[in-house]
């Protein structure tokens, strides 16, 4: 028994595991077919196993390219609309104002993206851990081209050499071709399956009191890793 404070106050907090799987499942692939063009594919399942009143109010997938300038893209998604910015492609699967409830959908998006010509960043040898970038590098690149069976691997290696790791804003995403971000909002019910009926809450000694119930689901970044890229790893510092 305790004496409640004056005014509104929180009576109890609780935590519970979610009885449902991730609201968005699928994969993302991006393959660089040349230095300035990439082919990508999304195949996603939304709200699989989720039932009403759970509602997805919006869902957007963003492909960020902080080090490349997007010139154009080609492709038509199975659902939703696509917008481009200077350094990203945004796929609005469920725009604000159109919600998804009581059913699941499959969304696919194949396409290509073209970037502005690659601007090679050359650093003085005294400030770079990559060594000299002169004629010796040109010879290495020619030799690598002849020896590599995988053209994409050669392109990624070449571009990685031109972009020092110390300049990367995303150290876990080398060249920033490695992931896409998903943003969404789900409302309507508790993901844990637990519920509290405000009318069943009793207070002793008996008093008239207004009971309010609220719930919140929090999450970190929702990331789709590029399955054709290398495993996420921190860029090695060069001293």
pLDDT at 66: 81
Task: State what percent of residues in the chain have pLDDT above 90.
Answer: 31
Cβ burial of 26 (10 Å; 0-12, 13-18, 19+) is middle
- In terms of Cα–Cα distance, which of 118, 162, 163, 125 is closest to 140? 162
What pLDDT does 163 receive? 44
CATH superfamily, domain 24-121+163-225, is Mu homology domain, subdomain B (2.60.40.1170)
Average pLDDT over the chain reads 75
Question: pTM of the entire structure?
Answer: 0.66
The dihedral formed by the CA atoms of 67, 73, 76 and 81, expressed in degrees to the nearest 10 = 60
| pLDDT tens per residue across span 142-193 | 444 445 446 556 655 655 554 443 344 444 455 556 789 999 988 887 766 6
Structure confidence at residue 8 as a pLDDT band (50, 70, 90): confident
Domain ranges in the chain are 24-121+163-225
Please report the pLDDT score of residue 51 as a whole number: 86
pLDDT exceeds 60 at position 79: yes
Q: Could you report the per-residue pLDDT of 102-117, keeping only the tens digit for each?
A: 899 999 999 999 999 8
Question: What integer pLDDT is reported at residue 171 of this predicted model?
Answer: 47
pLDDT at 135 over 50: no
């Amino acid at each position: 028994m305790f004496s409640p404070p004056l005014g509104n106050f929180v009576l109890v907090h609780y935590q519970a595991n979610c009885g449902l799987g991730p609201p968005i499942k699928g994969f993302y692939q991006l393959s660089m077919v040349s230095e300035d063009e990439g082919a990508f594919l999304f195949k996603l399942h939304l709200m699989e196993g989720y039932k009403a009143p759970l509602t997805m109010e919006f869902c957007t997938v963003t492909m960020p390219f902080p080090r490349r300038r997007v010139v154009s893209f080609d492709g038509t998604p199975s659902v939703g609309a696509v917008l481009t910015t200077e350094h990203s492609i945004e796929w609005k699967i469920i725009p604000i104002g159109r919600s998804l409830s009581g059913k699941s959908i499959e969304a696919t998006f194949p396409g290509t993206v073209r970037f502005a010509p690659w601007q090679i960043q050359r650093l003085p040898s005294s400030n770079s851990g990559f060594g000299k970038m002169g004629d010796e590098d040109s010879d290495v690149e020619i030799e690598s081209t002849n020896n590599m069976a995988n053209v994409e691997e050669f392109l990624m290696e070449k571009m990685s050499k031109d972009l020092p790791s110390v300049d990367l804003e995303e150290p876990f995403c080398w060249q920033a071709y490695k992931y896409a971000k998903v943003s969404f909002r789900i409302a309507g019910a508790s993901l844990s399956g637990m519920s509290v009926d405000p009318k069943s809450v009793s207070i002793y000694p008996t008093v008239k009191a207004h009971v309010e119930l609220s719930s919140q689901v929090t999450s970190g970044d929702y990331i789709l890793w590029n399955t054709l890229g290398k495993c996420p790893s921190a860029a090695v510092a060069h001293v």
